[in-house]
């Protein structure tokens, strides 16, 4: 069954299609280096308008997690793990995502993870998996 995917807009399409080459990208202010996520037209720190998407390593750290046991959607059989991760380059940039390719109870707070993309419709969803030990 097809899973739901985000609606692409001119403002967010770069983010949702970034994974087509296996790379996670965020908008970043060219003047002060602040990452902007969700996308914004202007930097909230220095008010600069030179904004460009930049590649990041795809590495992140789990800062919160929960295991869902309820069948909210037929395409998402429980149990599965929902996590909040902070990206390595800018810990204030956090993504709500799923951690895959492991058992849900293997994921601990602080666990290092790396991005893996799941294509759904026009979008490449940034999911994460545990870094190999
Ligand atoms: Zn700035």
pLDDT at 1 over 80: no
pLDDT in tens, 9-51: 999 999 999 999 999 999 999 999 999 999 999 999 999 999 9
Ligand 1 centroid – CA 55 distance (Å): 17
Q: Which residues surround ligand 1, an ion (CB under 5 A)?
A: 29, 31-32, 34, 43, 45-46, 48
Ligand 1 centroid – CA 63 distance (Å): 25
- pLDDT, mean over the chain: 95
Contact 102, 72 (CB under 8 A): no
* H-only helix segments in the chain: 13-17
pLDDT in tens, 57-109: 999 999 999 999 999 999 999 999 999 999 999 999 999 999 999 999 999 99
Ligand 1 centroid – CA 122 distance (Å): 30
Strand intervals (E) in the chain: 25-29, 35-36, 51-55, 59-68, 80-87, 90-99, 112-120, 123-130
pLDDT of residue 42: 95
Ligand 1 centroid – CA 48 distance (Å): 5
Instruction: Give the residue from 62, 114, 117 showing the smallest Cα distance to 85.
Output: 62
For the question of whether the overall pTM of this predicted structure is more than 0.85, the answer is yes
Contact 1, 27 (CB under 8 A): no
pLDDT of residue 65: 97
Ligand 1 centroid – CA 62 distance (Å): 26
pLDDT at 2 over 90: no
Q: Which two tokens stand for residue 121?
A: 């419709």
Ligand 1 centroid – CA 91 distance (Å): 16
**CA Rg value for the chain:** 15
Ligand 1 centroid – CA 93 distance (Å): 15
pLDDT of residue 131: 96
């Amino acid at each position: 069954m097809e899973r739901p995917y985000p609606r692409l807009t001119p403002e967010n399409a770069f983010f949702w299609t970034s994974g087509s080459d296996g790379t996670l990208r965020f908008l970043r202010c060219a003047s002060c280096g602040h990452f902007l996520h969700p996308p914004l037209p202007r930097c909230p720190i220095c008010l600069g308008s030179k904004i460009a998407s930049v590649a990041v390593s795809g590495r992140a750290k789990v800062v919160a997690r929960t295991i869902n046991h309820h069948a909210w959607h037929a395409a998402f059989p429980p149990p599965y793990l929902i996590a909040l991760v902070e990206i390595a380059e800018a810990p204030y940039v956090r993504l709500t995502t799923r951690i895959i390719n492991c058992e849900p109870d293997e994921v601990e707070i602080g666990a290092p993870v790396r991005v893996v993309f799941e294509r759904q419709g026009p979008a490449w969803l940034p999911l994460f998996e545990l870094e190999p030990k």
